[in-house]
Amino acid sequence: MTVDLQALYDADNIFAKILRREIPVEIIYEDDYALAFPDIAPQAPIHVLIIPKGAYVSCADFGASASDAEIAGLARAITKVAENLGLSHSGYRLISNTGPDAGQEVPHYHVHLLAGAKLSAKLIKKTSE
């Protein structure tokens, strides 16, 4: 599944269901603005998804439509998750995929926090020629 950046928010996407507690997850962090939980297909020893509680399709949608409080709240939640996981000194990577070319699969804005090992600098999959 790829995400249509022009589509309206799909209230039945998996992250919306998680926010409504229809699908159980291990909650790593939660506040008024964000929810964080482990990725089901981790790409690093630590791989956490951090999602805003508002209905936003992508980073572009969030940046254009979210309130200042929601934007600040998500940024603070990311920082708190990293601190709670003891990553402030060793470091971590944040990734947010927006649209089909970036590989966004769920039509709810989310940030991947990856850590727990030295991470590769490669970001683009090379295809055979």
Half-sphere exposure in the Cβ direction for 88 (13 Å, CA): 6
DSSP state of 74: H
DSSP-derived 3-state class of residue 94? strand
Catalytic sites, residue numbers: 110
DSSP state of 88: T
Per-residue pLDDT tens for 56-111?
A: 999 999 999 999 999 999 999 999 999 999 999 999 999 999 988 898 999 999 99
Give Rg (Cα) of the chain.
Answer: 15
17 Cβ neighbours under 8 A, 6+ residues apart = 23
Per-residue pLDDT tens for 49-68?
A: 999 999 999 999 999 999 99
